[in-house]
Amino acid sequence: MINTGTFLKNLMGLLIFISMLVFSGCSHHRGGTGVDSLADVPKGAVPEPAGVKLCQWQTAQVLQAAQDQTVLYKADFLGESAKLAPSATEKILRSLQNGTAGVQIWVVEATKNATQDSRRVDSVTQQLTSWGVPSPRVGIGMPTALGMPGVFAESNFLNQGRGSRGNSSSRSQFNGFTN
């Protein structure tokens, strides 16, 4: 037969041990004063307001996506030619309409064929010039964008300084490409 006194003592001990684990949390208290020596925020410092990291992340996404609007990928050309695909032509026309075509660097994604790359750069330069962009800046590079849908990037970029989400007062020419 089971001794109920011993069983109850063991059960109470187990319950006390589990409650100590549950209620102690994940803090690392050192000393009798209860100061958390492993805290991220030093004593006396004021932590950043809620949402700061999210805003910084969104601002980075918007900057990268706006930069990606002037990247012409391999798929933006018809086959192996230097002729722009219809979707790439629409992308360029959108940037002409919103006024960013002349101020940003246009980047053609690099291929393994240097001759093809230079023909594509010449083709894009001629196309931009024919549409009224004075001395367009076109180069070959590899895009570093993180990826935000272009429609959202474009609207956030155009609304900068007007209280939009992802707003940043220090936006300038985007330069995140490696040549």
What confidence category does residue 123 fall into, taking pLDDT thresholds of 50, 70 and 90?
very high
What mean pLDDT is predicted for residues 11-20?
79
Asked if residue 57 is part of any domain, the answer here is: no
- Tokens 């993180």 label which residue? 146
Q: Residue 21: is it exposed, middle or buried by C-beta count within 10 angstroms (0-12/13-18/19+)?
A: exposed
Asked if pLDDT for residue 27 goes beyond 60, the answer is no
Please indicate, yes or no, whether the overall pTM of this predicted structure exceeds 0.75. no
pLDDT of residue 158: 62
53-111, pLDDT tens digit by residue?
A: 888 888 888 877 777 888 898 889 999 999 999 999 998 998 888 887 888 889 998 88
Q: For residue 96, tell me if it sits in a domain.
A: yes
> What's the pLDDT band for 11 if we cut at 50, 70, 90?
confident
Q: Is the residue at 155 inside a domain?
A: no
User: Which structural domain, as residue segments, surrounds residue 101?
Assistant: 72-146
- Answer yes or no: is 135 within a domain: yes
Residue 103 lies in a domain: yes
Note the pLDDT tens digit of each residue in 152-166. Answer: 655 666 665 554 444
Domains: count for the chain = 1
What local confidence, expressed as pLDDT, does residue 117 receive? 93
Residue 141 in any domain: the answer is yes
Do strands 71-72 and 106-109 pair parallel, antiparallel, or not at all (unpaired)?
A: parallel
**Assigned domain for 112 exists:** yes
In a domain, 123, yes or no: yes
pLDDT at position 122 is: 95
Q: What residue has token string 């300038």?
A: 172
E strand segments, the chain: 29-30, 35-36, 71-72, 106-109, 138-141
The predicted structure's pLDDT at residue 174 = 40
